[in-house]
Every structure is written in structure tokens, then in C-alpha cells.
Chains A and B, each alone.
Chain A
Amino acid sequence: MSAINPAASLRRIGLPRLVVHLSVLVICIIWLIPTLGILVTSFRDAGQIASSGWWTAFTGAAETSAARLGEPSTAKQDGPNYVISGSVFEKGKGGSVLAFGTKVASPTEFEAGKPADIGEGETLTVNKDGSYTYTKNAPFSGDRGKRIYLSVSSPPSFTTDNYRTVLTSQGIGQSFVNSLTVAIPATIIPILIAAFAAYALSWMQFPGRALIIALVVGLIVVPLQMSLIPLLKMYNEIGSFFGVPSRSYAGIWLAHSAFGMPLAIYLLRNYISGLPKEIIESARVDGASDFEIFVKLILPLSFPALASFSIFQFLWTWNDLLVAMVFLGTGKDQLVLTGALNALLGSMGGKWEILTASAFITIIVPIVVFFALQRYLVRGLLAGSVKGG
């Protein structure tokens, strides 16, 4: 009797393989398209963003434009006919004419490259490259050139100007620095504090330990909203008492450290209490103090847990809007990236070249962190999925 191969038996379950491949592919595309949209748009020219969808960026969009033919005075006589010739494109501009017409309502009346009879004995040919021949069997009258309408496929044009604009004149550069100033200390400070606490809660015996653990677990889910009002009052009082601004980086570092503390202690305690007992006990027998054990053994051994938490905390502080708005303020110099982006949404609504470039700058750092350290992030999630953001 042959043994059943588990992998083969699993494969027999459910849908055929091709369907699985296809549906995952479709889901991936759906999940990726929103981000792709702003990435592509952030590199497009403002005019093109407004006139065509970003999904046409690579094929070149068909746009309607108007052009004026040469003035009658430039006509040359050619046998019985009078001819005006030239290019519908201004110097330096290019594109490919798909069709043309003489009325604004029908810019695609005539195909490019073929002579079109436009009445009154006039014939007009507009070639793909924009050169045209305008012929009449009698002298042209009037002193202005004829207006025609074109359907032009403009070549995809990509630019980094949007990024230059937002980084320099829209304050995104300053906000980027502000975000780093908030996020890095707010990630590092709580780790050390939480690690010592987690060690004490794992390997030291003292009365009240179970109570503190329960408290920490309970505090993980306390909504931030519960803390805001009293803390804002407290910050204002401290500020006016000492005559310092109530909204400062030190204030937000401490706030972020404290808000991340319950999850940090919980995650690190789970990990540290799972370290092998023998290592710690043999170190104690050798006469090492708790402080030495912590620094020389626990910290290096719990690197994976420390990494997990620091990614969490970094993403959370970098992406946070609420804490920054309350504790750092909404002045132009204090805005972090999320705050700046929120302000731009209000003031630059519809200017997608500004918004998409700014949005991409705000999300690029966490995305890089995410892809570089995904392994630790997943591990942290699996260990601490009680908090929820």
C-alpha cells in the first residue's frame, strides 16, 4: 500500500490550479493598482494628468488641440492653385496627428495623411508628423489663418519636476525632516525602557507581578482618544508653568513612547520569558548581577523581538497623524509628513501632480522598511496581534 503524499492530497482539494493562479493574479493586480496609480501620476506632466487617465501614460494619450494655419499672405501660387504649407505644431513641440477637422465639435472628421475636401474648393491635408498642405483653387481671402482642430497623440512624457516642486516649495522637505525627528527617537527610547521592564516581569520574582502583567495587557487596547484631553491639559499647564512651548518634540517623543509601551512590554516579555532558563541560571550561579545578565545576555538574545517591535513602532510613529496634530501642532514648520499631506489635500485639492508626489514621498520610507524587514514584522504580528494599530 502506497503512503499518501500530503502535498499531493492537498493539491487535490478545491479549485483547479489554473483558476488559483489566475484569481491570485487578479487579486494582486487589484491590490497593487491604487499605489501604482499615484506612482505613475507623480511622474507625469501636470497638463497630461488633468487631460488623461494615468493608465494611458505609457501609450500616449489622444488629446484634442487647436491650431491656426498660415496666414493667406504666405500662400504661394502653384499653377491654378494657391498653397499654404507648414506645420500645425509650434516649434519644439511634437506629437502624432491622428485626425483633424474644421469644426470644434468634430476634431476627428478626417483621417491624417489623406487629402480632405473641406468645401469652397479648398483641400487640406494634415500629415501624421504635423506638416500640412492647404490648397485652394482661388486666392485666399481674409488676413487671418484658418483655425483647425486636431486629435493629437502626444508621446508619453515623464518628469521629476513634481518632486522638485513639493520638496522645495510645498514644505514636504521640511516635513520629511520633522517626521524623522519624531519617529526615530520615538522608536528607540521605548525599546530600552520596555526591555528592562519585560526582563523584570519575566525573570524576577516580586509581589504584584501578575497584576502589572494584567495591567499591561489591558492597556494595550485602551484607545488613544481616552488620553488626549487630560494630556493636552497637562501639557498646556506644564508649558505655561515653565514658560516653554507646550508643543515640543520632547513632548511627542514621550507620548509616542508611552503609547507604544504596553505593546512593547507585552511583545518583549513574551519573547524574553521564553529564553532558556539554563542560560540565565548558570549566569546567576557565576555571580552575574541582573543588570549584567540583561545587558550581556538578554539584549543580544532578544534581537528578533526588539527588531519586530522597532518596526512596529517606527511604522506607527511615522504614519501617525492624530498624536502629531495634538502634541506637535499644525503650524507649517511643525507639520510631519502625514499632517502636511492632510493640509495639502485641503489647499491643493485637485492638483494631483502635487498630491501624488507628496503622497509618494510620505509612503516610500515605510514601504522600504516594510520590504527590507518584512520577516520581523510578520513575526511581531504573530506574537502580538491583540493591539490592532
Chain B
Amino acid sequence: MMTQIVSAIGVMVAGVFACALYYWLSDKLLAAVLPVPDNNVRLASQNLNRRAAIRPWLFLGPALILLAVYLVYPVIATFILSFYDRSGGTFVGFANYRWAFFDAQFRQSIFNNILWLAVVPAACTFFGLVIAVLTDRIWWGNIAKSLIFMPMAISFVGASVIWKFIYEFRGGKETQIGLLNAIVQAIGGDPQVWISLPFWNSFFLMAILIWIQTGFAMVILSAALRGIPEETIEAAVIDGASGWQIFWKIMVPQIWGTIAVVWTTITILVLKVFDIVLTMTNGQWNTMVLANLMFDWMFRGGGDSGRSAVIALVIMAAVTPIMIWNIRQANKETGGH
């Protein structure tokens, strides 16, 4: 263990040093290859221009290589693999797509993903907005925000253990040690095995993600609420608007943009949700979602890259509209300067 720590630190230092060395050496090399002599003004200015043309690519090089190898190439390769058989050797046309269309588990996953998409972003945004409005009004609001924001730092696996303990079920006459069942029992209900409850079990898994992500929505929306010009609210107060009207008719319309950002960000996260389902149910009891089905097919029976690729592409297709919208927004911003 000690040697591992030492070698990890060693590699870390070496890695950072190698990175720094690359940038430093490439800069020196550029200066050596394209010299700027004092006695030849024409060559000097020519070489300065050449340096200026090459240098950006030296700076960008490592980043572009990483992006190309780990993101751009795989996206293209996954697309191609979706038309090949399980080992990627034989072209099978649309067979994998046809399989997906008729596969019961795939349809179940699509259904569950839609359910997650319908519930989680809406719930997080709603709770986040309500909590942001409430906490902005009290002196210990920042402490409250910190506590609600904290689950954001907890891994999905850790959160799953935390919630599995809450959903814990004890059979027979044993004392219920899971909080939810203890509460249900205290108010006179029957304890349940929540994570295998047909249909509703997915909602108990969603609760975990809502618990984690509400803090994120709250932080962003709270910042947006603070950016609302005071005058608009003052004017509404003078006109005799009620608190409810002010909230829905004055405040919410002014932060629509931010609500959209929060909503789409959580939407992307939900499409990729994997850890929670893996640790809570591993897709049993009809809780399978696309990311887990994809992982499953990557390794099931030695792995089926074709089917797995199709499932990945479905997730990709779902985020594509958001991706295009983001690029448009970014172009608008950078186009201005």
C-alpha cells in the first residue's frame, strides 16, 4: 500500500512535470527553428508571423489529441459499431436497431427513462426554486443552503447506501430499522419492500437523485433570483400585488432562462443515470434504465458491442437537441467579440 502511495505521488509529479516540460520545450523549439535575427528585419518579421501561426496549435495540441481520441473518435466508432454484430466483425445492417425495437427490456428502459425525465428535473427545479425563495428571506439562509447543497458532494453509490438504509425492510415481527417503514408503522400502515414495489419502486430511486440535485437547482436559481431588479418587485408591491402574484408573474418570468438551464442540465444527468440503479436494484423489478442496459450488454455473455452501441446512440440522440442549443448559445456569445 505504501509503495502504491509513493508511486502514485511519483507519477503525479512526473505527469505534471512532463506536461509542463512539453509546453516549455515546444516553445523553446519553436524559437530555435524559427529564429528572429536582429540583422534581417524581413526574415525576423516573417518568422514572428510563422511562430504566431504555429504556437496556438502547440498550446492546443494535447487537449485536441485527448478530445479526439477519447470523445470524437469513439462517437463515430460507436455509430459504426451499431451496424455490426456482437464482436464488431460482421456487418449486420439495421439488425441491432430492429432487435432494440422489439426487445421488451429495451422498451421497459425507455419507459423508465421517460418516467425519470418527467419527474426528476421538474421536482428538482420546483424544490430548488421554493427553497431558494425561502432561504433568501432568512438570516440563517446560507447555512440552510449549505446543508441542502451538501448531498451534491456525495457519490451516487454512497447516496444509494444511505437511502437503502432508509428503505430497509424487516420481515415478520422484527423491529423495522428502516426509517420509512418505521414511520409507516407508527402511523398504522404496513411495512413494504419499497424497492421491489411494482411501478412505484422507480420513484423511490428517483428520490435519491432529487435529494442530490435539488441543491444544485437551488444554488443556480438563488443566484438568478438575486439578479432580479428590485424596482420590478417594488412596482408590483405598490400596485398591490400579492406575494403569490409577485412570485409567479414578476419573479418567475424574469428567470425563465435560468430555469431552462437548470432543467436541461438535470435532464442530461438523468439520461446518464447509472450508479443509482446499479446499486439499488441492478435493473431488477422493472427498474432498468438505458445507461444500465447499455452497460449490461457491454459485458453480458462476453459483450455485445452492436446492441450496446445502439443503446448508447439512443442516449446520444436524446441529448443532441440540448447540445445544438448549447452550441448556438455559445456562438451567440463568442460571435459578439
Contacts and interface: CB of A to CB of B under 8 A. Distances in A.
Contact of B70 (A32, A52, A227, A359): A227
A254 B155 contact: no
A280 interface: no
Interface string B166-184: 1010000001110100100
B8 A180 contact: yes
Contact of B55 (A54, A204, A226, A362): A204
Interface in A199-228: 199-201, 204-206, 209-210, 212-228
Interface string A313-357: 001001111100010000000000110011001000000100110
B78 interface: yes
B154 A194 contact: no
Contacts of A219: 67, 71-72
A226 B223 contact: no
A343 to B, nearest CB: 10
A214 B74 contact: no
A66 interface: no
Contacts of B57: 206
Q: Pick the most buried of A13, A326, A359, A362: most chain B CB atoms within 10 A of its CB.
A: A13
Interface residues of B, number: 122
A177 B319 contact: no
B20 interface: yes
Contacts of A215: 67, 72
B71 A227 contact: yes
A369 B153 CA distance: 8
Contacts of A258: 66-67, 69-71
B144 A24 contact: yes
B293 to A, nearest CB: 10
A333 B12 CA distance: 20
A192 B163 CA distance: 38
Contacts of B177: 49-54, 352
Contact of B60 (A184, A197, A338, A359): A197
B220 A382 contact: yes
Contacts of A279: none
B141 A24 contact: yes
B62 A193 contact: yes
A253 B176 CA distance: 44
A82 interface: no
Nearest to B222: A378
B330 interface: yes
Interface string A234-260: 000000000000000110011101110
Nearest to A49: B177
A193 B65 CA distance: 11
B83 interface: no
Interface string B315-326: 110010011001
A21 B144 CA distance: 10
A11 B137 CA distance: 7
Q: Pick the most buried of A204, A291, A387: most chain B CB atoms within 10 A of its CB.
A: A291
A200 B316 contact: no
B321 to A, nearest CB: 10
Contact of A196 (B8, B59, B72): B59
Nearest to A54: B177
Contacts of A10: 137, 230, 233
Contacts of B284: none
Contacts of B334: 210, 213
Contacts of A213: 330, 334
Given A10-B233, A34-B166, A222-B75, A389 B147 contact: no
B153 A37 contact: no
A145 interface: no
B66 A381 contact: no
B70 A231 contact: yes
Given A188-B16, A216-B67, 8 more contacts: A24-B134, A192-B19, A230-B74, A289-B27, A315-B152, A367-B154, A386-B261, A389-B269
14 contacts: A9-B234, A28-B144, A53-B176, A185-B15, A196-B63, A217-B330, A222-B75, A225-B294, A226-B78, A233-B305, A258-B70, A345-B164, A352-B177, A387-B265
The 6 closest A-B pairs by CB, nearest first: A14-B243, A258-B70, A319-B155, A370-B153, A230-B77, A197-B63
